[in-house]
């Protein structure tokens, strides 16, 4: 029934771009070989460039909210935020399944497309929850800055939490992996792409707080109960390099905290 097996849909990587690609596939009843944000040098498939159309994207979101179930766009958004391979194809499968099954899609948790989407949704929100705890700010006069490398593009999900928590502060969170920066200036939120971030030298006070925190962290552990496996289960090793308590003090430069210099993508 569906063709398009040798076509690759190329979108711009944005959320609306992804929805426009889904729209295109649904409208033309094709199941493309892939939907991707990366254009290959030597394309294997015939490439079809998708133009991002915000209007169509919004219509699609409204449409699926009505025809599948209320809240489905949150799942779709989480899929876009995730770093999983083939998330675009999964999205298309999910929408197609949802559009033919309607309301009960939410409950058909054993269907592969539904189950995988749920899993991804949970993984994205779990990562966001972990970041709320594991992010570490350093104070550079006038603003608090943090660098992180999360397993998915979770900044849009957490910046609100920090903006509400620190309504009188200027915050800057930089996601090194997804090249995204989130800013909250006294509660005003903005997001922008940034290739690199460099922070100024740490002040003496900042260094003191880091030493105090490390001392607290090391002292609070009960030696008779050491349990490395348990620690690593709850605090995955991939987070360790961003944690103040896990770093040695001569690592001041470990995360490029030197010389202020901002570079922006356009």
211 binds another protein (CB under 8 A): yes
261 binds another protein (CB under 8 A): no
Binding segment toward another protein, per CB under 8 A, in 20-28, 50-58, 84-92, 228-236 = 228-236
In the list 18, 95, 146, 180, the residue contacting another protein (rule: CB under 8 A) is: 146
In the list 77, 94, 134, 174, the residue contacting another protein (rule: CB under 8 A) is: 134
> For the chain, percent helix, then strand, then coil, each to nearest 5?
50, 15, 35
CB of 153 to another protein, least distance (A): 20
230 binds another protein (CB under 8 A): yes
Question: Over the range 60-96, which residues count as b (16 or more CB within 10 Å of their CB) and which as e?
Answer: bbeebeebbbeebeebbbbbbbbbeeebbbbbbbbbb
* Interatomic CA distance for residues 155 and 148, integer angstroms: 10
CB of 248 to another protein, least distance (A): 15
| Residue 2 CB neighbour total at 10 angstroms | 12
* Interatomic CA distance for residues 249 and 187, integer angstroms: 32
Closer to another protein by Cβ: residue 195 or 224: 224
CB of 76 to another protein, least distance (A): 20
Closer to another protein by Cβ: residue 248 or 266: 248
CB of 225 to another protein, least distance (A): 4
In the list 136, 140, 147, 199, the residue contacting another protein (rule: CB under 8 A) is: 136
* Number of residues engaging another protein in binding (CB under 8 A): 56
CB of 173 to another protein, least distance (A): 10
Nearest to 182 by CA among 201, 164, 156: 156
229 binds another protein (CB under 8 A): yes
Residues 56-115 contacting another protein, CB under 8 A: 104, 107-110, 115
Element (H, E) at 190: strand 188-193
CB of 192 to another protein, least distance (A): 21
On whether the CB atoms of residues 11 and 37 are closer than 8 A, the answer is yes
Contacts (Cβ under 8 Å, ≥6 apart) of 23: 53, 56, 57, 59, 60
137 binds another protein (CB under 8 A): yes
């Amino acid at each position: 029934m569906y063709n398009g097996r040798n076509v690759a849909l190329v979108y711009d990587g944005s959320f609306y771009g992804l929805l426009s690609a889904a729209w295109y596939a649904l409208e033309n009843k094709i199941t493309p070989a892939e939907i991707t944000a990366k254009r290959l040098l030597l394309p294997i498939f015939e490439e079809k460039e998708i133009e991002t159309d915000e209007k169509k994207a919004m219509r699609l979101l409204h449409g699926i909210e009505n025809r599948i179930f209320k809240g489905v766009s949150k799942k779709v958004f989480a899929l876009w935020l995730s770093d999983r391979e083939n998330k675009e194809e999964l999205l298309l499968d999910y929408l197609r399944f949802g559009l033919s099954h309607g309301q009960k899609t939410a409950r058909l948790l054993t269907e592969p497309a539904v189950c995988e989407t749920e899993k991804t949704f949970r993984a994205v929100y779990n990562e966001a929850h972990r970041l709320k705890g594991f992010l570490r700010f350093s104070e550079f006069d006038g603003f608090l800055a943090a660098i992180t490398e999360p397993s998915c593009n979770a900044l849009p999900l957490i910046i609100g939490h920090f903006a509400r928590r620190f309504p009188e502060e200027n915050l800057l969170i930089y996601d090194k992996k997804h090249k995204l920066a989130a800013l909250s200036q006294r509660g005003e939120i903005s997001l922008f792409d940034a290739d690199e971030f460099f922070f100024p030298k740490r002040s003496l006070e900042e260094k003191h707080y880091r030493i105090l925190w490390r001392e607290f962290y090391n002292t609070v552990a009960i030696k008779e109960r050491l349990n490395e496996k348990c620690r690593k289960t709850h605090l995955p090793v991939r987070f360790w390099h961003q944690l103040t308590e896990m770093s040695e003090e001569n690592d001041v430069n470990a995360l490029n905290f030197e010389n202020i210099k901002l570079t922006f993508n356009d």
